[in-house]
Structure 1
Amino acid sequence: MAKLAVASEPPRNAPDESHDWARVAYLVNLSRALDAMEEERLVPEKKVLYQFSARGHDMAQILLGCRLTERHDAACGYYRSRPLLLSLGVDPEIALASAMARSGGYSGGRDIGTVFNYPNPHGASALPMCGGVGAQYTPTAGWAQAIEYHRTVLNNAAYEGAIGVVLGGDGSVASNGFWAALTIATTQALPMLFYIEDNGFGISVPSTFQTPGGDIAKNLGSWSGLEIISGDGTEPQEAAALIDQAMAHVRDRKGPCLLRLTVPRLQGHSFQDTQSYKSARVVEDEWRRDPLPKLKSYLVPALLSQAQWDEIDARAKADAEDALARAETRPVADPVTVTRNVFSEDGDLQAMGGQWTSGYVPPPSTPTPVPEGQRINMVTAIRRTLEHEMTINDRVVLFGEDIGPKGGVHAVTLGLQEKFGQARVFDTSLSEEGIIGRAVGMAMAGLVPVPEIQFRKYAEPATEQINDCGTMRWRTDNRFAAPMVVRVPGGFFKCGDPWHSQTNEVAFVHQPGWMVAAPSNAEDAVGLLRTALRGNDPVIFFEHRSMLDFAWARRPYPGDDFALPFGKAKTTRSGDDITIVTWGAMVPRCEEAAEGRSADVLDLRTLMPWDKAAVLASVRRTRRCLIVHEDLKTAGFGAEIAALVADEAFMDLDAPVARLTMPDIPSPHNPVLLDFAVPSVAGIRAKIDDLLAF
């Protein structure tokens, strides 16, 4: 059973000399000066468009940050976490420049200035926070799990004592991410600290709406494997002691800890918030708990004289003014650069995240297959590729639901846990948010996570993490990236249904920063998967269920050095009268339908990027275009292809651009209904003939 430690009224002893209290005092005053500057000048002047005051939260955050001393410590905060960043060493000029959306800083003006990140090569880093409440928890769990992997599997002593810290308000404990991370951290006994700043309100909603009784520490009293500590974050001595207690527990590898500190939110949720939902008495009570006067009372005269305190306060205000002067000289980023860093770019490596920042150099590869042995199905081809890449790269880690002893519901990972061990191939809790979120943290810590989403439809609970991962490089202006390979089986197989047979690849294409592969056969699956595993961008690797053991899709293994570039279509059949553009399970159907016709059949193989040049070149030669895919017609990816052809090859066409897809319905279960809905060979052939006769 979890242990609930609640501090009693602390004795008013002399300040604990293990803390640099003069620095704490300086940072709290600096944080207050920055808040005041924004609220009184920069927001009214419209130089800062989003502002979240940290007043009341600041002292305890700074005490926490001052204890993040290990090289591989990392913290992931939220929009009220600037005091923590100041304690980690972030220059106030960067903080203000980011708030004013100027060049440099956290994002170069691409993201809100309170959405922090701090890649720190010399000490603790601040992982890129997300704008969504609760989205910070599972990536931090992934970072903590990566610490253990570096320490125990890669035998890197530099990770001894390192921890992951996640900051969240009382409102965030109602989120899926919180509970997913709590499950991960406790079942895996991870070195992770949940730091909950309970100010009693989630925007305007009391904390009693988020958790029964408004006390998450009390409610988790019976949660196994979790140390729980609770106390007052406004009392300097108490807050410092409880933070040290929590830190010691996690650093000593005794498991995760949840530290709940009560603090007042002395301003509104944001600058625009009038706090009309708080009574005058509540506001008065909050200001009576202001930690800054308490800090001064604690330090003066026991440790500092009044003159020394005044000098610290004056220096903090002067430094804030100097930081503003320097930040004001920073220009707005050149607008033409705003399209950069969606994906990795040659010669411009991210500061943190992925294996490439650790000196990884991909082995030599070739796009030319060297066939070996008998034809194998796509299941075997994917498994063999994973096995080879895991053998030569000990940073590759596989995980998901049922992928361990069972080998996955499609048997792709069968035998891999037995060969590589449970640390490298492991099952997870049933939480797609947790699967992808932890993969994000592991990727930022330099591993190559290969999470599996069991079926395409099951990716929906992970949508926020998928989006946040894809935008990470862009929104941090190439400071962070989280390359990974997400394996996603989907599509029909013998029968269909709304839950296991969805394709909807276009949703992934519409997530900026994700590459998307959709191989139709074993050879292409090997080449694209190998490129993805050695690359520097997150990849959705779509495995069509119907192709996994389909005879047409079988190919000889193309060799351990075979790797295909993304964005290069393959012409699987050549002709002069019509271009058929397709991918996945529709490729063999289009090939069969084109028999007896002079047709180019283009297998796109990847949808992001996709081979626009090959499509346009073929259409300009054949002067007709048919697009065939399994996904729904409305807003399907075929619409993007049709739009390109209409935009850039309209004058070359002898017939309208045509699409043949499923109707706008979920995948039906009965095979008769499924055959009616999915484009058939006969249906494709009829459409070809219609276009040829136009």
Structure 2
Amino acid sequence: MSDRRQPVTARPASSDLSAFDWRRVAYLVLASRLIDEIEETRLVPERKVLYQFSARGHDVPQVLLGSLLTHPKDGVGAYYRSRPLLLTLGLSLEDAFASPMGKSGGFSDGRDIGVVCNLPGRDGPTVLPMAGDVGSQFTPAAGWAQALRYRRDVLGEAAYDGALAVAHSGEGAVATNGFWSALTMATTLRLPLLFYVEDNGYGISVPSHLQTPGGNIVENLRSFKHLRLFDGDGTDPAGAASLLQEAVGVVRAGEGPALLRLTVPRLSGHSGQDNQAYKPPERLEAERAADPLPKLRAFLVPDHLSPDAWDALEAEVRRDVEAALEAALARPDPDPAAVTRYVFAETKPDGTLDVQQAGGLAPEGVAFPEGTDRPDPEPSRTNMITAIRRTLEHELRVNPRLLIFGEDVGPKGGVHTATMGLQEAFGEARVFDTSLSEEGIVGRAVGMALAGLMPVAEIQFRKYADPATEQLNNCGTIRWRTANRFAAPIVVRMPGGFAKVGDPWHSVTDEVRFVHAVGWQVAFPSNAEDAVGLLRAAMRSHNPTIFFEHRLLLDHPSARRPYPGDDYVLPFGRARLVRSGAALTVVTWGAMVDRCERAARAAGVDAEILDLRTLRPWDRDAVLASVRKTKRCLVVHEDALTAGFGAEIAATLVREAFFDLDAPIERLAVPDIPIPYNLGLLAATVPGVDQIAEKMHDLVTF
């Protein structure tokens, strides 16, 4: 019996090369090659294209792969050298020219580098929004693959049967966190995911043996269970077509993930600015000799095309490409007045949602139950963690597309018990544990959202989100980067802040980092009622949301409130008036709300206290109205002082209410140090009641 973990390197006996439309393959390869040539020789020197990546040498196997991606629910995570694949999947020749020139329309309306593509699936596969980060395509592709199986098996949608996801990369990306995280997901869950690795021997100038030991990722993965391996020569049209056909077939048949490595020559520099001086002359000559285009011609002529037919095809391609170039050059530049649009979901003049083409629930017309911002409180009070759990449970019940996942959220019920009992109630397909990779948790969520699900991901502690920074940043900018073609509404639940003790790892808040990140809503409730309303709003939103859960407040008496009902939805950007007053405005959020209340009583100050509840958006109008009444303002928060969100509030007040102030705006926050562990040091670091009371007194007596 053969070892299925040994890589397939020869042409499979079952391959059917007649399944390919070889004339179309040749047309697309010639078109891609001519676009690259025109960019390199004309558009880059004329500075009409400022950032250019050629696919010369990679083009033949990419077109062959694209020819096999015929399922309308297939999804592709691609990279900057994927244009031949994109052309095969439906990218127009005109858009292929216009986007690198930064022209209007196309896949980003001039907002992103021209090779960072996307393609909403209409009658064919979806190309997930690409990013400029190497390796960032892997975990969203894995999320798409898991969503395919969920929609088929759990939601019962037969249209997803046989669909697959592809993660397309160069060999340099196999060294990244995203690759290994996606590989772990794919093999442990046996996802329908094909890893297609084009190995041209160099990551810019770094040879492949420094990316993976021995320079061949296939050889290093032989011990991986549940992974079919394929390895071959991408310049051999027949051999590459056969290997691609078998690899795609294995994944489509539900046999689990596969990885295919094809060697190809990089016939241009890494980018238009790279002269390849680091390559020895003999290497350059060997690469030119390995050019797959002459091999494709030799394979097709005369058996599939006559010499005259090939010449006619070349002439047809030149006419089409030149016409597309002229049309692209004639396009106007993007409208500068629109450059700030689509950071968040927008409404049309008639009040309806300006729906993105793909991603999230809105494009498929999914509607949520009617909610209300008027609570229907129960008689007894509950703590915040129970309120969060009940909200998650209800949304799981009413929204079959909602999934909850993260480390330890399954049988354990979460390290903070927020998901206790939910897996037992709703099953492992909807509430599940993940591997220990925050990159994987968030990237998976992005892919699932792009596939039409509502993922709710848990990061155990705020500091643990740092490895996922790349995916978080990319998720927030998807709508803007694609000019509203795509969006990935997800919820990332993120506990943090001090509790009974502090420390530099579990007690970080650093919420301003996510306020600064483009495209993210940020919620930071101070009590159980607000946590219910904001979490439900986040899970029904068209935008991605960071939902902070302060560790101290999860079971703190000050945060307990009656459960406000299963219909309670609290709009973002609406501050809560905690206490009315005339002498001083105090703006705060999170665990500092209770401390500010106690400080006002201790100081005997007639302070008006506003709990912002959300920081993106934040309630500017409420803060300005209060400060114009009291003439004084103190901002108290747990994040570090320098460039904390209090600085944004202060800057706004100086600009909008300067002549209303009778005293300087004051900020009270953590010094610019990590949160310490020792209780005495913790008390000296985080603003306490006495310290806040003293600052209040100083301000009102200024």
Q: Is the 8 A contact 1:15 1:299 kept in 2?
A: no
User: Cα offset for 1:586?
Assistant: 0.2
Give the secondary structure class of the aligned counterpart of 1:66. Answer: helix
2: CA distance, partners of 1:140 / 1:312: 35
Counterpart for residue 105 of structure 1: 106
Q: 1:343-392: CA deviations, max 9, x gaps? A: 00113111000011111122211111111131000001000011011101
Give the secondary structure class of the aligned counterpart of 1:655. Answer: coil
**1:644 corresponds to 2:645:** no
Aligned residues: 693
After the TM superposition, which of the residue ranges 78-87 and 671-680 deviates more from structure 2?
A: 671-680
Q: How does 1:19-168 map to 2 (within 5 A)?
A: 19-168=20-169
2:700 is aligned with what amino acid?
A: L
1: CA distance, partners of 2:592 / 2:536: 23
Give the secondary structure class of the aligned counterpart of 1:688. Answer: helix
2: CA distance, partners of 1:492 / 1:196: 44
Q: How does 1:141-540 map to 2 (within 5 A)?
A: 141-346=142-347, 347-540=353-546
Counterpart for residue 583 of structure 1: 589
Give the secondary structure class of the aligned counterpart of 1:535. Answer: coil
2: CA distance, partners of 1:420 / 1:122: 33
Structure 2 alignment gaps of length 5 or more: 348-352
1:671 is aligned with what amino acid?
A: L
**1:676 corresponds to 2:684:** yes
Give the secondary structure class of the aligned counterpart of 1:264. Answer: coil
Give the secondary structure class of the aligned counterpart of 1:547. Answer: helix
Correspondence for 2:5 among 3, 28, 39: 3
1: CA distance, partners of 2:12 / 2:636: 72
Q: 1:211-261: CA deviations, max 9, x gaps? A: 011000011111111101000000010000000010011001001000000
1:609 is aligned with what amino acid?
A: P
Q: Is the 8 A contact 1:74 1:164 kept in 2?
A: yes
Q: Is the 8 A contact 2:65 2:244 kept in 1?
A: yes
User: Cα offset for 1:328?
Assistant: 1.3
2: CA distance, partners of 1:270 / 1:2: 38
Q: Is the 8 A contact 2:358 2:487 kept in 1?
A: yes
Q: Is the 8 A contact 1:4 1:230 kept in 2?
A: no
Q: 1:438-494: CA deviations, max 9, x gaps? A: 000000000000000000000000000000000000001111110011000000001
2:7 is aligned with what amino acid?
A: A
2: CA distance, partners of 1:16 / 1:224: 30
Counterpart for residue 634 of structure 1: 642
Q: How does 1:586-625 map to 2 (within 5 A)?
A: 586-595=592-601, 596-625=604-633
2: CA distance, partners of 1:438 / 1:178: 12
Give the secondary structure class of the aligned counterpart of 2:244. Answer: helix
User: Cα offset for 1:650?
Assistant: 1.0
2: CA distance, partners of 1:9 / 1:115: 33
1: CA distance, partners of 2:495 / 2:364: 31
Q: Is the 8 A contact 2:30 2:317 kept in 1?
A: yes
Q: 1:42-87: CA deviations, max 9, x gaps? A: 1111111111110000000000001001110011111100000110
User: Cα offset for 1:2?
Assistant: 5.6
Give the secondary structure class of the aligned counterpart of 2:321. Answer: helix
Counterpart for residue 666 of structure 1: 674
User: Cα offset for 1:5?
Assistant: 2.5
Give the secondary structure class of the aligned counterpart of 1:48. Answer: coil
After the TM superposition, which of the residue ranges 369-378 and 437-446 deviates more from structure 2?
A: 369-378
Q: Taking structure 1 as reference, are residues 377 and 575 closer, same or farther at Cα in structure 2, changes over 3 Å only?
A: same
User: Cα offset for 1:14?
Assistant: 13
User: Cα offset for 1:89?
Assistant: 1.3
User: Cα offset for 1:6?
Assistant: 3.8
Q: 1:590-627: CA deviations, max 9, x gaps? A: 01111232111000000000011111111011000000
User: Cα offset for 1:317?
Assistant: 1.2
Give the secondary structure class of the aligned counterpart of 2:6. Answer: strand
1:377 is aligned with what amino acid?
A: N
2:506 is aligned with what amino acid?
A: H
Give the secondary structure class of the aligned counterpart of 2:553. Answer: coil
Q: Is the 8 A contact 2:142 2:182 kept in 1?
A: yes
Q: Is the 8 A contact 1:2 1:222 kept in 2?
A: no
Q: Is the 8 A contact 1:520 1:547 kept in 2?
A: yes
1: CA distance, partners of 2:337 / 2:11: 58
Q: Is the 8 A contact 2:73 2:121 kept in 1?
A: no
2: CA distance, partners of 1:453 / 1:177: 17
Q: Is the 8 A contact 1:14 1:302 kept in 2?
A: no
Give the secondary structure class of the aligned counterpart of 1:180. Answer: helix
User: Cα offset for 1:15?
Assistant: 8.8
Q: 1:487-546: CA deviations, max 9, x gaps? A: 000000010000100000001111100000000000000000111111100000000000
Correspondence for 1:657 among 655, 662, 665: 665
**Post-superposition, which runs of at least 4 consecutive aligned residues in structure 1 deviate over 6 A?**
none
Q: 1:647-684: CA deviations, max 9, x gaps? A: 11111111000001111111111112111111011110
1:647 is aligned with what amino acid?
A: R
Q: Taking structure 1 as reference, are residues 608 and 2 closer, same or farther at Cα in structure 2, changes over 3 Å only?
A: farther
Counterpart for residue 350 of structure 2: none
2: CA distance, partners of 1:548 / 1:46: 57
Q: Is the 8 A contact 2:142 2:165 kept in 1?
A: yes
Q: Is the 8 A contact 2:12 2:242 kept in 1?
A: no
In angstroms, what is the RMSD of aligned CA positions?
Answer: 1.3
1:367 is aligned with what amino acid?
A: D
Structure 1 alignment gaps of length 5 or more: none
Give the secondary structure class of the aligned counterpart of 1:328. Answer: helix
Give the secondary structure class of the aligned counterpart of 1:315. Answer: helix
1: CA distance, partners of 2:104 / 2:449: 26
1: CA distance, partners of 2:431 / 2:651: 43
Give the secondary structure class of the aligned counterpart of 1:529. Answer: helix
1: CA distance, partners of 2:420 / 2:15: 62
1:636 is aligned with what amino acid?
A: G
Give the secondary structure class of the aligned counterpart of 1:607. Answer: strand
Give the secondary structure class of the aligned counterpart of 1:546. Answer: helix
1:678 is aligned with what amino acid?
A: V
Give the TM-score of the pair, scaled to structure 2: 0.98
1:612 is aligned with what amino acid?
A: R
**1:563 corresponds to 2:569:** yes
1: CA distance, partners of 2:87 / 2:554: 52
Q: Is the 8 A contact 1:72 1:124 kept in 2?
A: yes
